[in-house]
Amino acid sequence: MVSRVIPVDSFDIVIFGATGDLARRKILPALFHRYAVGQMPDEARILGVARREINQQAFKTLVRDNLIEFTQLAVKEPKLLKSFLEKLTYFRVDVHGEDGWSDVSGALRSNVKRVFCFSVSPSFFGLIASKLHATGLANPDCRILIEKPFGHNLIAAKSLNNELLNLFSEHQIYRIDHYLGKETVQNLMALRFSNALWEPLWNSTHIDHVQITVAETIGVSGRGDYYDRSGAMRDMVQNHLMQLLCLIAMEPPARFEPNSVRDEKVKVIQSLEPVLPTDIVRGQYRDKTGNETYRNHVNNPDSNTESFVAMKVNIGNWRWASTPFYLRTGKKLKSQSSEVAIIFRDPPHMIFPISEERKSNALIIRLQPNEGIKLHNMIKEPGPGGFRLTDVSLDMTFANTLGTGGNSQDAYERLIMDVIRGDQTLFMRGDEVEAAWAWVDPIIAEWEQTDVLPAFYQNGSSGPDQATSLLHRDGREWRDIC
């Protein structure tokens, strides 16, 4: 299926931190892809801002080399790459100083959408926001795109929200959680709210439990300093896993419109029950040689930061009482595998012999790799000679069903275009971020107060044994990470 491309209005996007890792790996490749499919108008322009002293040619060479490294399209389409690079201009601005701002201002056009992308250290977010006003770069229709982390705890998130809201309206602030831009994550909403089939089953009467797994094979990948101060709870659970949980658990919004959707997500977060210390497992990876350990990777031999979290979460509302959500995420696990598994209750009365092959019905929403949705059912094993049941799945793998060839657009492509369109549905509202911190903070505080040490797990495993026990003691089992 060829995806439909609806061009967006013309825009100027200013990327603060244009020479940084995120801009090079995600933001600029996303813009290049949207340019290549014709969604980005010809007159749209990209203004890269960073601190280093380089000339225009050196900046373009840096971007070109990165696009070649991170996108196959840049290798295949050199002409397109060349014309894309013409859209780029570099501005040297140290955001602490006064120099260079007027050059950026002079280059911005007044009659197009204006987006400021904050791809810099979070400690600069407030400063850049105020400079945008002080230097006259901000206009009433401009948008700011804020990278994560949005605060380090509730107090910091509130203070940042206040700082930004003193200068911009909520409708101008786009707080990014790139998981919301992933194709399958959006499909979760499509599946739930465009089919009549699921809603009658979507509750604790029919769903036994939910598993959300985001497993990574990578370690801290050069972000050790940031990661060691955050850990998996702040880096992944507070945002990405929380968003997945919200999309599964929320009530149907009245409309597919930013505030309707976000109102329902906030209600879910506010319904989360406090997590008991016995319902949570923290882990840290190490290996047999002692070299590939988390502590080595973050250069902190005494670190007790978690690179893995597994937890049982209860939602205190009518729909979900007695259906636990089990969340698990970690680095250096055995496979790169992210999925949501909705495990249904068994039939109330079984007329067939109980066998090992019999499995509960499960709806698996696979985020990555091999994006798609599968519904596991039991059917009769074909052929004569007895009556045996076998598990067969109805497969909606996007690559097969929709002919995407496994090439879904990157989350950033969708999200940046949504900023230009002015659609905040897939961005977090301020109160949503604060509610998530309000739930996460006490868990972290408890760890800090009790000096709970993380359980070690082997690099390349499924995580610590204690995570397995978390489900075993409830008579359940994690799905294999594969």
Minimum CB separation of residue 246 from ligand BG6 in Å reads 16
Rule CB under 6 A: say whether 189 interacts with ligand NDP. Answer: no
Task: Establish if 236 lies at the interface with ligand NDP (CB under 6 A).
Answer: no
CA distance 328 to 369: 17
Burial of 197 (0-12, 13-18, 19+ CB in 10 A): exposed
Q: Which of 133, 240, 297, 376 is an active site residue?
A: 240
The binding track of 319-338 with respect to ligand NDP, each residue x by CB under 6 A or -, is --------------------
User: Is 306 a binder of ligand BG6 (CB under 6 A)?
Assistant: no
The only residue of 73, 120, 249, 250 in contact with ligand NDP, by rule CB under 6 A? 120
By a kind-dependent CB cut-off of 5 to 8 A, residue 235 interacts, out of ligand BG6, ligand NDP, none, with: ligand BG6
Q: How far apart are CA 130 and CA 138, in angstroms?
A: 9
CB of 370 to ligand BG6, least distance (A): 14
User: Quick one: which of 106, 112, 111, 94 has its CA closest to 13?
Assistant: 112
Q: Tokens 């009556």 correspond to what residue?
A: 387
Measure the CA angle with vertex 197, ends 193 and 202; round to 5°: 70
Peptide bond into 369 cis (omega under 30): yes
- Which of the stretches 15-23, 185-193, 444-452, 455-463 binds ligand NDP when contact is defined by CB under 6 A? 15-23
Does the annotation count 206 as an active-site position?
Answer: no
Q: Shortest gap between Cβ of 52 and ligand BG6 (angstroms)?
A: 24
**Residue 91 or 478: which CB sits closer to ligand NDP?**
91
CA angle 14, 16, 21 (to 5 degrees): 120
Applying CB under 6 A, which of residues 11, 17, 115, 326 lies at the interface with ligand NDP?
17
Q: Using CB under 6 A, pick the residue from 12, 183, 208, 216 that binds ligand BG6.
A: 216
Contact between 410 and ligand NDP per CB under 6 A: no
Q: Closest approach of Cβ 71 to ligand BG6, in Å? A: 16
51 binds, among ligand BG6, ligand NDP, none (CB under 5 to 8 A by kind): ligand NDP
Contact of 220 with 307, CB cutoff 8 Å:
yes
Kindly state whether residue 177 participates in binding ligand NDP, applying the rule CB under 6 A. no
Report DSSP state, residue 25: I
Among 4, 72, 79, 96, binds ligand NDP (CB under 6 A): 96
Residue 118 vs 294, nearer CB to ligand NDP: 118
Burial of 356 (0-12, 13-18, 19+ CB in 10 A): exposed
DSSP assignment of 393-425 = EEEEEHHHHT--TT-PPPHHHHHHHHHHHT--T
Q: Does 410 bind ligand BG6 (CB under 6 A)?
A: no
Asked whether the beta carbons of 478 and 471 are under 8 A apart, the reply is: yes
Q: Which one of ligand BG6, ligand NDP, none is in contact with 216 (Cβ closer than 5 to 8 A by kind)?
A: ligand BG6
Nearest of 387, 242, 230, 352 to residue 303 by alpha carbon: 230
Check residue 147 for interaction with ligand BG6 (CB under 6 A).
no
CA 410-416-418 angle, 5° bins: 110
Beta carbon of residue 326, minimum distance to ligand BG6 (angstroms, whole number)? 19
Which of 94, 251, 257, 395 touches ligand NDP (CB under 6 A)?
94
**78-85 and 56-70 are packed helices; what angle lies between their axes, rounded to 10 degrees?**
140
CB 281 within 8 A of CB 310: yes
Residue from 51, 158, 334, 388 that binds ligand NDP (CB under 6 A)? 51
* Identity of the residue, 237 or 364, whose beta carbon is nearer to ligand NDP in the bound complex: 237
| Candidate residues 235, 279, 306, 371; the one interacting with ligand BG6 per rule CB under 6 A | 235
Give CA separation, 16 vs 19, 128, 166, 225, in Å.
9, 9, 21, 21
The distance in angstroms from the start CA to the end CA of the chain is: 27
Measured CA to CA in angstroms, residue 24 lies from 17, 238, 426 at distances of 9, 25, 22
Within positions 159 to 188, which residues make up the interface with ligand BG6, using CB under 6 A? 178
Query: Which of residues 73, 117, 147, 372 is near ligand NDP by CB under 6 A?
Result: 147
Closest CB 285 distance from ligand BG6, rounded Å: 13
d(CA 223, CA 285): 16
229 is a site residue for ligand NDP (CB under 6 A)? no
**Of the two residues 18 and 246, which places its CB atom closer to ligand NDP in the complex?**
18
117 makes contact with ligand NDP (CB under 6 A): no
Determine contact, residues 365/373, Cβ cutoff 8 Å: yes
Which of 91-99, 261-269, 326-334, 358-366 is the region at the interface with ligand NDP (rule: CB under 6 A)?
91-99
- For the CA atoms of 210, 481, 302, 440, the dihedral, rounded to the nearest 10 degrees, stands at -20
| Least gap, CB of 212 to ligand BG6 (angstroms) | 13
305 lies in the binding site for ligand NDP (CB under 6 A):
no
If binding is defined by CB under 6 A, does position 279 make contact with ligand BG6?
no
Give the Å distances, CA to CA, from 135 to 102, 106, 130.
7, 11, 9
Asked if residue 7 binds ligand NDP (CB under 6 A), the reply is: no
- Catalytic site positions: 240
- Binding positions for ligand NDP, rule: CB under 6 A: 17-23, 50-52, 93-96, 119-122, 147-149
- Binding positions for ligand BG6, rule: CB under 6 A: 148, 178, 216, 235
